[in-house]
Amino acid sequence: MYKYDPKSLKAEEFINDGEILDTLKYADENKDNLPLIDSILAKAKEKKGLTHREASVLLACENPDKIQEMYALAHQIKLDLYGNRIVMFAPLYLSNYCVNGCTYCPYHYQNKHIARKKLTQEEIRREVIALQDMGHKRLAIESGEDPVNNPIEYILESIKTIYSIKHKNGAIRRVNVNIAATTVENYRKLKEAGIGTYILFQETYNKESYVKLHPTGPKHNYAYHTEAMDRAMEGGIDDVGLGVLFGLELYRYEFAGLLMHAEHLEAVHGVGPHTISVPRLKRADDIDPSKFDNGISDDIFAKLVALIRISVPYTGMIISTRESKAVREKVLPLGVSQISGASRTSVGGYCEPEPEDENSEQFDVSDKRTLDEVVRWLMELGYIPSFCTACYREGRTGDRFMTLCKNGQILNCCHPNALMTLKEYLEDYASTETLTIGNGLIDRELIKIPNDKVRGIATEYIHDIHNGKRDFRF
């Protein structure tokens, strides 16, 4: 008999292999049980989320009508809780020095072929200026794991540099951090440095596969990696971002593990993950995704996105430029709340492209459009591209964002903030065509703000932004 306990602080008890296998068996047995599926969908409609067992039944269900119901529900929940806003960000790779041996990542230490780079503070300054000049306000910093080349002091200094740069009207107002699992003390330092979300992908929840996929280096330690979010929360970071790298293991196993992780955080810390990312394995320097057996189709990918949305309604969902324009378009209505735009996955490369013989890229980017093109495309699809960072700057982190959603204040708070930050983008960085489309969108969206006072103030602020003022927020 196995021991599964969501409240345990031991990786193998809160992500329990036996419980996952039983869940998959239960899901298989019930995949055609329409009364049960209907009752799970009815529960999901209440927007209180689903357990990993309930959600796994929906994932196993292959009935086309029921799948359409799942998609419609995911779309509705997204509209009710997030409206039509899509938050924009870009990754910034600081260093690809790495001591780990991850078999799917070209930064593994045995790769002598890839160019190794680490940005100096001056190079970071130049990269950040290039990112600000595109219009970005929110970054996710990325780094390989290397205690000698990329110690925590380097990461902290880099964060300080990033926040300090104010070029023209530009500013990076939120730095999220995606670095390897670390100590409570280091998480506390990251919190003090003013980071937004701490993001760490689990890669796979299957311990046996995890150990094989990470044969050497500190990342080999499954428990240390899996328990990282608990240490981050102990260190005071209450916005954490989960994710698995789809393609490494069976997607149904990963999905159950991901939801169990979310349930664990909720059970222990009273707050679930701030975001979930859904990266898929990509071709990279010495990595061929076809060598991994568990790639998933675009349809399964869409189903996963929809089911994450209905299972953890208050958790943001992130899609990166690993996905093409077409795939992004397919999954946006199913619950995505954040996307990256104009990303470079090389170390450096925003201020000038890398020479061909000096490739330091982590993986191939599929969506290569400029930020202006992505912003225009989103607006043409009826979304509001948002550069908002207000919640974090107003201290609305952890469960406080959830309270905002539950009180129905999204339209009186997030919506105007999105419009004001979009207006800043349009005034400072947009092409003429994007500007015209954007101004029309803002006019149409302003009238949707229910509270008369808030609508009046937002209209005034947008007018002020047109006249040169910046950085308003509710």
**Which parts of this chain interact with ligand SAM (CB under 6 A)?**
104-105, 142, 144-145, 178-180, 200-201, 203, 219, 245, 279, 281-282, 284, 287, 322, 362-363
β-pair type (138-143, 198-199): unpaired
Please say which residue, 361 or 445, places its beta carbon nearer to ligand SAM.
Answer: 361
Give CA–CA dist 169/429, Å, rounded.
10
Please say which residue, 117 or 282, places its beta carbon nearer to ligand SAM.
Answer: 282
The residue type found at 342 is A
CB of 219 to ligand SAM, least distance (A): 5
CB of 222 to ligand SAM, least distance (A): 13
- E strand intervals along 27-158: 85-95, 138-143
CA distances from 441 to 28, 418, 419 (A): 46, 12, 9
CB of 237 to ligand SAM, least distance (A): 15
Please say which residue, 177 or 413, places its beta carbon nearer to ligand SAM.
Answer: 177
The torsion defined by the Cα of 471, 177, 395 and 44, in degrees rounded to 10, comes to 110
CB of 181 to ligand SAM, least distance (A): 7
Please say which residue, 254 or 445, places its beta carbon nearer to ligand SAM.
Answer: 254
- Where does residue 376 rank: exposed (0-12), middle (13-18), buried (19+ CB within 10 A)? buried
Please say which residue, 282 or 303, places its beta carbon nearer to ligand SAM.
Answer: 282
CB of 354 to ligand SAM, least distance (A): 16
Give CA–CA dist 290/443, Å, rounded.
48
CB of 180 to ligand SAM, least distance (A): 4
Please say which residue, 368 or 406, places its beta carbon nearer to ligand SAM.
Answer: 368
Give CA–CA dist 225/182, Å, rounded.
8
Report which DSSP code applies to 132: H
Give the residue among 129, 98, 131 at the shortest CA–CA distance from 112.
98
Give CA–CA dist 272/440, Å, rounded.
37
β-pair type (338-340, 316-319): parallel
Q: What would the two tokens of residue 412 be?
A: 């009186």
CB of 127 to ligand SAM, least distance (A): 15
Please say which residue, 76 or 103, places its beta carbon nearer to ligand SAM.
Answer: 103
CB of 285 to ligand SAM, least distance (A): 9
Residue in this structure with the two tokens 């998959």, named with its chain if needed: 24
CA distances from 41 to 30, 73, 81, 220, 402 (A): 14, 8, 17, 39, 22
Please say which residue, 144 or 335, places its beta carbon nearer to ligand SAM.
Answer: 144
